């Protein structure tokens, strides 16, 4: 929800204090809908209200019978009829067909409507496409979509996912994931839109619009509700491991980590899921300041705040901030939690009811939570149409959706190195495809694909691996396969079988060029934790052995986070970072390597060179220092493998005539930046034009650069386009240690590639 800014008082000729407040929350509500909610709540018992606040896993109401998941009517009756549960979630171990989903969810709805006259809201982790509905469209993971720097691509993919999810009778997804991935050790880097808060905010906004449409009060049958996750500060745990504590200055939490959630709220997001871990010593599930004061009151969020998986239990079993489950429930609900994801424990309903009767949770808090839940169900149209029929969705799994996914994969793979223009590959070359990622679908799709950990090999047999896609594009006689290193598919994601590197070396004698496909197997959440950021010894030894053959190596990185490759990168003539491009990603790679399409993606995160030298592109100026003279040799120069925003193309671009519409500006000004971009190469290409800023001097140590705008254009050889982008002056501000926003008098540098312009803020401003 957008906020108004109103100047309160002029402190001096050089200082202005302003305040911001949310629009009246009711201004964007449908008043007739609110009246219906009032009438319904007046009839509801405490048991019914508490039940609406509970969410249970599908496993508690049924079981697999052959290839079909079947609801057990007696179990469902207990959950719905007795405990009045208002939401069910998740896939039962693996994805279902659309037909099976309809049977399951419609059976739940029948019971829910008959018992209470209130529909259930079902939720799935459709995190990068229709991941839990068999036959649906799988898209590249979010980290890839960020690499595209293309908002429209994100919007289109989300729209297709919403359509296909609703085709299977599900109205709610726990997506998009918008944590800032600012620690490469973290196993959930690939689920998010990278390390930058502006890029993440823009992609979040586009995703919400694609999933939900543009009218949050009336979401039609081709769209679904989103759940922004994981609020707040999840992506930078001190240990680098999943669900472990983070320690983030409040000014950085507010300025950077809050930004994507703010953008999602402004776009109309109907729900928000909470960070499983603690931040600055307080579990986010009981952080009333950030849940209620900031999210609900300051940002005007009128949707549902839902816990992550069993996280209320963690408050007393892991975080140790409650003595038992009842106390954990009381603290969480009073802090602002509206719905508890309690996958298998119906005791939540009993304990919350007791807490209300004992006066530990006020009825006003229960009513607020239930109102939000009912509002989401009304907005989704579930009261009028509890179910959607697949016959009304003829484009489910359509070829055009698959084509969009493949085209997205083309636009989201990053060319990092291309010495001597070894790429695109010349026709007729004999190619060896090797490495553990060469002939498996799992690392192409990643986690949250058919199953939690991404067991794509058992479900995507009709899709191409890298080896298969290369054979199709370059001819079976020209492409051979010898893995050398393989994953233990029955073990941990990092486990590998005994290497057979000598076989690959022998095979290399028969070819002209080698495609070494390395990286990570699929993983998700905590099982993806690691202790060593370096690529495995086996894989690096494979590349080292191949380098001694004298054949050129194209290194294909297929990984969920940047694994250290500093010792083998110099051995490769070319490097492509596929990231996790989805099940059409190999076909897209083959198109790119053949030169049928051009690379246009940029790095969405900083790729580290060393395990003990981890940083982000927006580091503070004082983190970069030269070698000191004398007895002490403090070498703190920033040294990375590839920086945020880096990406090469088969063509070249030049930039000229950078202009700004004003050199002096105030708080409410818009700064228009124009630059001429020319394709100086001999092939067509897309390029993302990124605008960075630098505050030259500030009252807290300024950062060396911040992304402020981006747009993507297509240029034919020799073509020039003038690119115009606008930056709001207030977006150049930072949050100070006082929790206020500051835009301070002085010079700012704006930069596009090698072109620079200077602008000047004429006075100091401060606002809430």
- Catalytic position from the list 196, 242, 302, 308: 308
Residue 138 · residue 187 · CB < 8 Å: no
Helices (H), 85-189: 98-116, 142-148, 151-167
User: CA–CA separation, 590 vs 581, rounded Å?
Assistant: 12
DSSP-based three-state secondary structure for 55:
strand
According to DSSP, residue 561 is labeled S
Q: Is 682 a catalytic residue?
A: no
User: CA–CA separation, 758 vs 660, rounded Å?
Assistant: 9
User: CA–CA separation, 343 vs 373, rounded Å?
Assistant: 18
Residue 452 · residue 524 · CB < 8 Å: yes
Residue 154 · residue 175 · CB < 8 Å: no
Residue 7 · residue 16 · CB < 8 Å: yes
Question: What's the full length of the chain, in residues?
Answer: 768
The DSSP H or E segment spanning 366 is: helix 363-379
560 Cβ neighbours under 8 A, 6+ residues apart: 141, 143, 187, 189, 190, 446, 447, 520, 522, 523, 528, 579, 580
198 Cβ neighbours under 8 A, 6+ residues apart: 259, 706, 707, 708
DSSP-based three-state secondary structure for 461:
coil
Q: How many degrees, rounded to 5, is the angle at CA 133 between CA 488 and CA 265? A: 105
What distance, in Å, lies between the first and last C-alpha atoms of the chain? 16
The DSSP H or E segment spanning 198 is: helix 197-212
| Nearest residue to 551 via CA among 589, 485, 505 | 505
Q: Residue 109's Cα: distance from chain center in Å? A: 30
Tokens of 660: 């700004």
Tokens of 440: 């498996």
Tokens of 237: 């745990």
According to DSSP, residue 134 is labeled E
Residue 686 · residue 600 · CB < 8 Å: yes
Beta bridge partners of 231: 274
261, 280, 438 from 253: Cα distances, Å: 11, 10, 40
User: CA–CA separation, 138 vs 616, rounded Å?
Assistant: 30
Provide the annotated active-site residues: 308
């Amino acid at each position: 929800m957008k906020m108004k800014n109103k100047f309160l008082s002029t402190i001096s000729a050089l200082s202005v204090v302003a305040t911001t407040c949310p629009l009246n929350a009711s201004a964007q509500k449908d008043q007739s809908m609110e009246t219906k909610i009032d009438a319904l709540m007046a009839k509801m018992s405490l048991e019914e209200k508490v039940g609406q606040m509970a969410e249970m896993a599908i496993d508690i109401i049924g079981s697999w019978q052959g290839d079909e998941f079947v609801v057990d009517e007696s179990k469902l009756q207990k959950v719905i009829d007795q405990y009045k549960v208002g939401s069910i979630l998740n896939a039962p171990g693996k994805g279902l067909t659309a037909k099976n989903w309809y049977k399951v969810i419609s059976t739940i709805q029948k019971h829910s409507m008959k018992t209470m006259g209130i529909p259930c809201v079902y939720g799935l982790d459709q995190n990068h496409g229709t991941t839990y509905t068999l036959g649906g469209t799988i898209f590249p993971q979010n980290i890839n979509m960020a690499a595209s720097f293309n908002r429209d691509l994100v919007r289109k993919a989300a729209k297709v996912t919403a359509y296909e999810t609703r085709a299977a009778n599900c109205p709610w997804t726990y997506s998009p994931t918008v944590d800032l991935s600012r620690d490469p050790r973290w196993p959930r880097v690939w689920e998010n839109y990278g390390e930058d808060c502006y890029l993440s905010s823009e992609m979040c906004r586009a995703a919400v619009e694609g999933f939900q449409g543009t009218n949050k009060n009336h979401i039609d049958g081709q769209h679904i509700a989103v759940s922004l996750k994981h609020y707040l500060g999840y992506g930078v745990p001190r240990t680098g491991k999943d669900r472990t504590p983070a320690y983030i200055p409040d000014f950085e939490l507010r300025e950077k980590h809050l930004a994507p959630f703010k953008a999602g709220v402004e776009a109309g997001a109907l729900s928000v899921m909470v960070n499983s871990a603690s931040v600055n010593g307080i579990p986010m599930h009981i952080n009333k300041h950030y849940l209620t004061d900031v999210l609900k009151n300051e940002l005007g969020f009128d949707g549902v705040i839902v816990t992550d998986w069993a996280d209320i239990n963690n408050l007393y079993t892991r975080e140790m901030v409650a003595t038992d489950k009842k106390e954990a429930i009381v603290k969480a609900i009073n802090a602002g939690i509206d719905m508890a994801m309690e996958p298998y424990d119906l005791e939540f309903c009993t304990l919350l009811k007791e807490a209300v009767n004992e006066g530990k949770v006020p009825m006003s808090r229960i009513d607020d939570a239930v109102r939000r839940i009912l509002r989401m169900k009304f907005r989704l149209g579930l009261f009028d149409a509890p179910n959607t029929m697949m016959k009304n969705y003829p484009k489910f799994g359509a070829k055009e959706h698959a084509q969009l996914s493949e085209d997205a994969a083309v636009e989201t793979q990053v060319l990092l190195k291309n010495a001597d223009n070894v790429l695109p590959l010349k026709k007729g070359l004999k190619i060896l495809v090797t490495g553990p990622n060469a002939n498996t679908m799992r690392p192409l799709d990643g986690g949250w694909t058919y199953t939690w950990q991404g067991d794509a090999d058992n479900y995507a047999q009709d899709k191409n691996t890298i080896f298969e896609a290369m054979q199709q594009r370059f001819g079976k006689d020209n492409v051979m396969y010898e893995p050398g290193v393989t994953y233990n598919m029955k073990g941990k994601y990092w486990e590998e079988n005994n290497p057979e590197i000598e076989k690959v070396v022998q095979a290399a004698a028969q070819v002209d060029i080698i495609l070494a496909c390395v990286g990570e197997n699929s993983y998700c959440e905590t099982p993806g934790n690691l202790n060593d950021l370096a690529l495995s010894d086996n894989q690096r030894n494979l590349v080292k052995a191949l380098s001694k053959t004298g054949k050129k190596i194209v290194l294909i990185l297929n990984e969920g986070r940047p694994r250290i490759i500093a010792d083998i990168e110099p051995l490769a003539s070319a490097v492509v970072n596929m990231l996790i491009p989805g099940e059409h990603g190999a076909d897209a790679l083959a198109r790119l390597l053949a030169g049928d399409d051009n690379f246009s993606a940029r790095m969405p995160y900083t790729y580290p060179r060393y395990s003990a030298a981890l940083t982000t592109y927006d580091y503070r100026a004082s983190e970069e220092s030269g070698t000191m003279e004398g007895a002490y040799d403090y070498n703190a120069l920033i040294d990375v493998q590839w920086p945020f925003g880096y990406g090469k193309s088969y063509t070249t671009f030049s930039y000229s005539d950078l202009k700004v519409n004003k050199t002096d500006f105030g708080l409410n000004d818009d700064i228009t930046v124009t630059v001429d971009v020319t394709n100086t190469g001999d092939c067509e290409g897309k390029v993302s034009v990124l605008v960075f800023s630098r505050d030259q001097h500030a009252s807290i140590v300024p950062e060396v650069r911040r992304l402020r705008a981006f747009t993507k254009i297509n240029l034919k050889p020799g073509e020039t386009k003038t690119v115009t982008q606008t930056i709001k002056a207030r977006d150049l501000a930072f949050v100070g240690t006082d929790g206020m926003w500051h835009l301070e008098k002085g010079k700012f540098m704006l930069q596009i590639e090698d072109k620079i312009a200077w602008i000047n803020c004429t006075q100091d401003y401060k606002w809430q």
